[in-house]
Each structure stands twice: as C-alpha cells, then as structure tokens.
Amino acid sequence: MSTPKKPTRPARTSGPAKAFKKPAAARKAPAKAVGPRTATSAGPRTTKPVVAKPRAAKAGQDLALPKAPRNRVKPNVEADVAERLHRVVKNALDDLKAKDVREIDVRGKTSITDLIVIASGTSTRHVKSIADEVVRAAKLAGLPPLGVEGQREAEWVLVDLGDIIVHVMLPRTREFYGLERLWTVGDDVDTDAPLAG
C-alpha cells in the first residue's frame, strides 16, 4: 500500500510580486559620504584625491619658503688645523712656564715642517714636563704627535707635530747647538726678540 504524498505548492508564475518596502529611515535621503569615499545612488563608489593641507605655524615660527643656498666659500681646513695646533703649542708652553720661547718660520727653507718652536726648561725634569704637556695637549686637541725624541735624557726633547716641531732644551744645550742661528742664517730677523702674541 502506498502512502499519499503531500501536495507541493506550485511555483508562482503569474501575478504581481510583492514589493519590498524599505524601512522609513532608509527612504529619507541617499547615503552621505564618509571619509574620502562617497556613495551616490546613481553610480559606483568613487574616491576623492587626498590633498595635503599646509602645516599650521607654531607660535613664533615663520613658515616662509626656504632660501636658495648661497655659493659658500669652502674654508681652508688645512690652515685652520695649523692655527689650532699653533694655539695648542703656545698654551702648553705657557702653562708649564717654558723660558725664552722662540718661533722660526721655515717655510721655503725646508719641506719637513712650517714652524720650529724652541723653548728652554730650568732642569731636566722641567724640560720633560714641558714636552709631556705639549704631547698631552696635542692629543686632547685630536692632533697627536708624529714622534717624540730625547725623553729619557731630557736635555733636549723634540716633539714632531708635523706642521710644527717643538724643541725643549736646557739652556746650556740650546746655546751649544744654536738652532736659532742655524735656521735664521741670511734672515734679517733679530733672534733675541721674544715671541710675539
């Protein structure tokens, strides 16, 4: 015996379809733009180009356009280093009370250095202390010496700083070797004149 089948609803093929009604809040106005994207009822979503706004000036700050750089003259770095080294040597000799300091400009006479500085100490201990102070000050200034000679005997200590060579000597040693006379032969310079500056 077969069981009766439930009747199925026939699909609607004719007749008006029920219209879908939107809620009242949705019918009032088209959607407003949120952020850079906009939605319109007429077309697809589009994006607006983002334009950067000028930065607001802080109190006391001028937002004028930057000036074009001028043609700057490059500083003579080599001359600056030589001047700084010269100041360092003079200050170190002054700090340790070096006696009878002389400077001899030897540019054009030799290629090993530009300036020779000769100073005297009152004893071997004083000579060594003066030379040590010159070395220490030069290192602190970032201009370490190329070499130091004669520290053990300390009768004549030579500190080679490249552009400047410093001779620190006992008075009797200085008189015996006569470096001032040696480097000023033919010059119209009074070697007994004290150091300027």
Domain 79-183 has CATH 3.30.460.10: yes
Span 136-151, mean pLDDT?
Answer: 92
Would the pTM count as exceeding 0.85?
Answer: no
- Which residue in this structure is represented by tokens 């200034």? 141
Domain regions of the chain by residue span: 79-183
H or E element in which residue 164 lies: strand 164-169
Model confidence pLDDT, tens digit, residues 28-69: 555 555 555 544 555 556 666 666 665 655 555 555 555 655
